[in-house]
Chain A
Amino acid sequence: MSATSSGVLSGIIFGLALAFLLEQLGYLSLSALAAGTLYVVVFAVAFGVVFGIIGNLLGKRRARKLWPAANSA
């Protein structure tokens, strides 16, 4: 699994967990079907994108350190 896809997967799980955590702490209400689904999907997609970018950048950076010859070209 690439660093980007790992980041996206981590971001989706992070977003879902964060939405439910905020709901548990009283900052979100997931009672209604439409609003609750919207919150969860927005959190999952947004953090999936953000974590995917982070994973991509970190992956490239570490690849340059681990295999400098292959990444110098």
Chain B
Amino acid sequence: MQHVAPPSGRHVVGRVSIATLACVAALLLAVPLLGAPIGQGSAHPNGATPGPHGAPPAPFTYWVNWNGRGTANSSTIGSALSVTLGSTITLAFHWSGGTLGGPPGGVSEVEFQAFLFGFPFITRALTNNPALTTYTGVTNLTWDPGALNYIIAGDYQCLASIFAADGHTIWSESFYISVHAPYTVGALLPIILLLLVLFEVYAVLTVKPTPPKGIAAVPAPEKGTSSPASSESSEPPDPAAESPEAKT
């Protein structure tokens, strides 16, 4: 029969010491999560901060306003935010919540992007130095579209992002905007495209046939004597136009 010796006082002290060390180590590891700012926000990809004493974490809430109008309900083309680029735009990046401390990593940079064919053709960013680590806060990204008001219109996908100091994305939201041109077709690009469309219809309706085989092509006129358009014509030459008298 095997006899198990009762734990001596020395062993008990050792176990208590190990348990105490483990508790201290756990507490030390938890300090960055409880304090502000939080160095590695990626530890909480959902933006939640653990609450004290096992309480459920209170998630951070982020949102962005386009000139005071929320973008959260504009996640599809059908619900695109109707905007004009005729005046200064203020994108207000808000954050709030969290049980303790500010947003993970602090708000170091906010960025706005508008996409065309998947590539950002408008990018505006604002850097906070030092990063904002307040419990709740707002950063206003103000920019003047300038001549864009007279150039572009239409529906565009946009991305509003908040970055931490180490560069990782704390939060981002994709939304759509419907940019209205002045007088609906008043921007430069729609007018140019409309003219191009009409010109191509005109071009195909006035297409010139190629001469059949066996019929000599019209000889090219000498340089400087005729317009370039007439050199591509395959119609028979006008004798009156070729004669020296006709030029006078």
- Residues of A in contact with B (beta carbons under 8 Å apart): 1-3, 6-7, 10-11, 13-14, 17-18, 20-21, 23-26, 28-34, 36-37, 51, 54-55, 58-60, 62-63, 66-67, 70-71
Instruction: Evaluate contact between A24 and B115: CB separation under 8 angstroms.
Output: no
Instruction: Evaluate contact between B204 and A51: CB separation under 8 angstroms.
Output: yes
Instruction: Indicate whether A32 sits within 8 Å of B154 (C-beta atoms), given known contacts A6-B203, A67-B212.
Output: no
Q: How far is the CB of B31 from chain A (nearest CB, A)?
A: 43
Given contacts A17-B200, A59-B208, 4 further A-B contacts (CB under 8 A): A3-B208, A10-B200, A31-B116, A31-B157
Instruction: Indicate whether A25 sits within 8 Å of B203 (C-beta atoms), given known contacts A20-B189, A20-B193.
Output: no
Smallest Cβ-Cβ distance to B197: which chain A residue: A17
List, in ascending order, chain A residues with CB within 8 A of B155's CB: 23, 26, 28-29, 31
Instruction: Evaluate contact between B201 and A36: CB separation under 8 angstroms.
Output: no
Q: How far is the CB of B75 from chain A (nearest CB, A)?
A: 13
Instruction: Evaluate contact between A13 and B200: CB separation under 8 angstroms.
Output: yes
Smallest Cβ-Cβ distance to B178: which chain A residue: A26
Determine the distance from Cα of A31 to Cα of B80 in the docked complex, in whole angstroms: 13
Instruction: Evaluate contact between A14 and B200: CB separation under 8 angstroms.
Output: yes
Give the size of the chain B interface in residues (CB under 8 angstroms): 42
Q: How far is the CB of B77 from chain A (nearest CB, A)?
A: 5
Instruction: Evaluate contact between B200 and A26: CB separation under 8 angstroms.
Output: no
List, in ascending order, chain A residues with CB within 8 A of B205's CB: 54, 58
Instruction: Evaluate contact between A36 and B117: CB separation under 8 angstroms.
Output: yes
Instruction: Indicate whether A62 sits within 8 Å of B77 (C-beta atoms), given known contacts A14-B197, A23-B155, A36-B116.
Output: no
Q: How far is the CB of A56 from chain B (nearest CB, A)?
A: 9
Determine the distance from Cα of A55 to Cα of B208 in the docked complex, in whole angstroms: 9
List, in ascending order, chain A residues with CB within 8 A of B208's CB: 3, 6, 59, 62
Which among A3, A11, A30 has the highest number of chain B CB atoms within 10 Å?
A30
Instruction: Evaluate contact between B154 and A70: CB separation under 8 angstroms.
Output: no
Q: How far is the CB of A51 from chain B (nearest CB, A)?
A: 5
Instruction: Evaluate contact between B118 and A10: CB separation under 8 angstroms.
Output: no
**What 0/1 readout, one digit per residue, does chain B (193-217) give for beta carbons within 8 Å of chain A?**
1101100110111011111111100
Q: Does B34 contact A (CB under 8 A)?
A: no
Instruction: Evaluate contact between B181 and A13: CB separation under 8 angstroms.
Output: no
List, in ascending order, chain A residues with CB within 8 A of B97's CB: none
Instruction: Evaluate contact between B212 and A24: CB separation under 8 angstroms.
Output: no
Q: Give residues of chain B (109-150) contacting chain A, Cβ–Cβ below 8 Å.
A: 114-119
**What 0/1 readout, one digit per residue, does chain B (170-197) give for beta carbons within 8 Å of chain A?**
0000001010110011010110011011
Q: Does B153 contact A (CB under 8 A)?
A: yes
Instruction: Indicate whether A63 sits within 8 Å of B181 (C-beta atoms), given known contacts A6-B203, A14-B200, A58-B207.
Output: no
